[in-house]
Structures are given as C-alpha cells and as structure tokens.
Amino acid sequence: MTKEEIKSVLMEIVAEIIPDEDLTNLKGDIPIREQVELDSMDFLDIIMELRKRYGIEVPEDDYMQLATLDSSVAYLEPRMRDL
C-alpha cells in the first residue's frame, strides 16, 4: 500500500467510527482528537479495525504514534507497505 492508500484507509475507518463528524477539513499534522470528537474507546476501535482488516498489532506503547493522521501513516507505512 502506498502512503496515500494508507491515509485513505485510515480516513475510511475514522469515518465509520465517528459517523456524525465532518472529516472534510481534517488536518494531517494536528492530533485527530483535537479536531473531532474521538474518545479513547473510539481510538481502540481504530486499533481493532487495523487488527481485523490487516492483521496489524499496534502495541499500547505505540498508541501515541497514531495521534495525527500524518504520524499514523508514517507509523503504518512500513507495516502496510507489502499489503
């Protein structure tokens, strides 16, 4: 997967998890939780979806690396490159 494809997948997952939020202006370099209503249980949904869809395990110590869209893509790229 390319970085663009990974970003698109992430956006799709976030849109499913917080369906009431408008994500059109979501900025890549600002923490997602500062821009939309996304609580810790929603965040765990992102982790679960990555596990279900791509078999990716994100250890708890790495959760901070998924704070922004850009940092998420950077963190996931080596793990999803060959998918």
Partner 1 sequence: MMARKPNEARIVITGVGLTAPNGNNLAEFRESLLAGKSGIQKFNVRYMGEVLAGVCHFDPLRYQKKKELRRGTRAGSVAIYCAQEAIADAKLDLACLDKSRIGVYVGITEHGNVDTEKQIYEIKQFDYNTTFVSHHYNPRIVANNPAGEVTLNMGITGPHYTLGAACAGGNIGLIQGLQMLLLGEVDLALAGGVSETIHAFGAFASFRSEGALASHADPEKACRPFDKDRNGVVVSEGGCIYLVERLGDALKRGAKIYGEIVGYAINSDAFDFVLPNAQRQAECMKLALNKAGISAGDIDIINTHATGTREGDAAECQAIREVFGEYPHVYINNTKSFIGHTMGAAAALELAGNLPSFEDHIVHPTINLDHLDPECPLNNLVINKPIKVDKVNYILNNSFGMLGINSVVIIKRFEE
The interaxial angle of helices 3-17 and 40-54, nearest 10 deg, is: 130
Is 53 a binding residue for partner 1 by CB under 8 A? The answer is no
Q: How near is the Cβ of 30 to partner 1 at its closest, in Å?
A: 21
Is 44 a binding residue for partner 1 by CB under 8 A? The answer is yes
- Of 12-31, which residues contact partner 1 (CB under 8 A)? 17-20
How many Cα atoms occupy the beta-carbon half-sphere of 66 within 13 Å? 23
Find out whether 56 and 76 touch, Cβ atoms under 8 Å.
yes
Which residues of the shown chain bind partner 1 in the complex (CB under 8 A)? 17-20, 37, 41-42, 44-45, 48, 51-52
